Structure 1
Amino acid sequence: MRIDIITVLPELLKSPFEASILKRAIEKGLVEVHFHNLRDYTDNSYNQVDDYQFGGGAGMVMMIEPIDKCISGLKAQRNYDEIIYMTPDGKTLNQKIANSLSLLENIIILCGHYKGVDQRVRDMFITKEISIGDYVLSGGELGAAVLCDTIIRLLPGVLNDETSALTDSFQDGLLAPPVYTRPAEYKGIKVPEVLLSGNFGKIEQWREEKAQERTEKLRPDLLQ
């Protein structure tokens, strides 16, 4: 998989990809992540990428020309399955979306900034708009990092145990059940006996029941 991220703050984005699972995935050649500084695609002496919005009002708008140059240049080199715009009014990211995107080969992620991008960018280039929640960030970079993490960890070979991702919360529409590790008893609190029984049929049944209970209690909306 190849991910091209268009941003005005590449330095803000690079850190998550230099550690942990994302770094390992890149080093193993399972994913390529490329950062494109939008200011490199400007023609003005100040490398300006934003301007005042027509009609007046507070907040600057990202201009279409540098974005067009960047996206068009990338598309001239390869075909892209999705061109994603990170925006608060996009569709809220969930596991289903992450699963779908993890099956693609090439994607572009455009990080919004300021008051957003010129609407013509969305009309001409964007194929999917994604939000990570009903709140506003200073820019789309942190959202892009979250999106990349949700996608990359699903790629075959990224996790040491590939079945781990299949048992995460939301994969089957439920929250994950409680998990325990050693010691079997700590300050008088014991691990449920069934988990120590070695009876994997009963263990699986217990996990399913607890997942259902936890979802009903914490996220009943998932069951609707």
Structure 2
Amino acid sequence: MRIDIITCLPEMFKGTVDQSILKRAEDKGLAQIHIHNLRDYAVNKHNQIDDYAFGGGAGMVLMIEPIDKCISKLKAERSYDDIIYMSPDGELLSQGISNELSLHQNMILLCGHYKGVDERVREHLVTREISIGNYVLTGGELAAAVVADSIIRLLPGVMNDETSALTDSFQDNLVAPPVYTRPADYKGWAVPEVLTSGHEAKINDWRFDQAVKRTRQKRPDLLGDESNN
């Protein structure tokens, strides 16, 4: 998998792509993340990439020309499954979307900034828009890092235990059940006996029941009508 990230703040990714899961995936040759500085495609010698909005109003807008030049260069080198604009009004990121995107070979993540991008970018250059929540960030860089992490960790071979991702929260529309580790008794706070029983079927049943219970308590929206039962 290859992810190309277009940003006007490339330095924001230095502490992200060279750590943890993303670094492991790159070291194993399972994923590549390339950061592209939008200012390299600026329209003049002043490295201009933004301008005032037509019609007035506060804030600056990322211009279409630098974005188009960058995307066009990348598309001339390879084909892309998706060109995704990180936007607060895009479709809300979910585990299902991450699962879907993890099947892609190549994608571009475009990070907005200031008051966003020229609307013609959204109309003609991107294929999808994704949000990580109902709030506004200074730019799309943190959102792009979240999307990249959520996708790359799902690639076969990235995680040491490939079954781990299958039991994550939201994979089956449930949050994860409680987990415990040693000691089995700490200050009188004991681990549920079933988890130390060695009985795999009973343990699996307990985990499923606990996942449903916890989802009903903490995220009833995931259960739909079941939350009212």
TM-score for the superposition, normalised by structure 1? 0.99
Which residue does 1:47 correspond to in 2? 47
Q: Which residue type is aligned with residue 167 of structure 1?
A: T
How many residues align structurally?
224
Q: Distance in 2 between matches of 1:218 and 1:77?
A: 46
Partner Cα distance (2:122, 2:158) in 1: 32
For residues 77 and 69 of structure 1, the distance between their equivalents in structure 2, rounded to whole angstroms, comes to 13
> How far is 1:13 from its partner?
1.4
Per-residue deviation, 1:59: 1.0
Name the SS of the counterpart of 1:178 in structure 2: coil
1:211 maps to: 211
Unaligned residue ranges in structure 2 (runs of 5+): 225-229
Matches within 5 A, 1:32-111: 32-111=32-111
Please give the residue correspondences for 1:15-30 in structure 2 after superposition, counting only pairs within 5 Å. 15-30=15-30
Q: Which runs of 5+ in 1 are unaligned?
A: none
Percent identical among aligned pairs is 69
Q: What is the distance in 1 between the residues matched to 2:19 and 2:13? A: 12
The alpha-carbon deviation at position 43 of structure 1 amounts to 3.0
Question: Does 2:119 align with 1:119?
Answer: yes
Output the CA distance in 2 between the equivalents of 1:148 and 1:83: 13
8 Å CA contact 2:43–2:49 kept in 1: the answer is no
Distance in 2 between residues matched to 1:212 and 1:130, nearest whole Å:
28
Counterpart of 1:149 in structure 2: which amino acid?
A: D
Residue 17 (structure 1) shift: 1.0
- 1:172 corresponds to which residue? 172
Q: Distance in 2 between matches of 1:15 and 1:34?
A: 14
Normalised to the residue count of structure 2, the TM-score between the two structures is 0.97
Deviations 1:74-122 (A, max 9, x none): 0011100000000111111110000000000000000000000000001
Measured on the aligned residues, the alpha-carbon RMSD in Å equals 0.6
- In the aligned structure 1, how far is the partner of 2:151 from the partner of 2:43? 34
Cα deviation for residue 15 of structure 1 reads: 1.2
* Aligned-partner SS, 1:17: coil
CA distance in 2 between counterparts of 1:46 and 1:29 reads 38
Instruction: Tell me the SS of whatever aligns to 1:203.
Output: helix
Q: 4+ residue stretches of structure 1 with deviation over 6 A?
A: none
SS of the residue corresponding to residue 110 of structure 2 reads strand
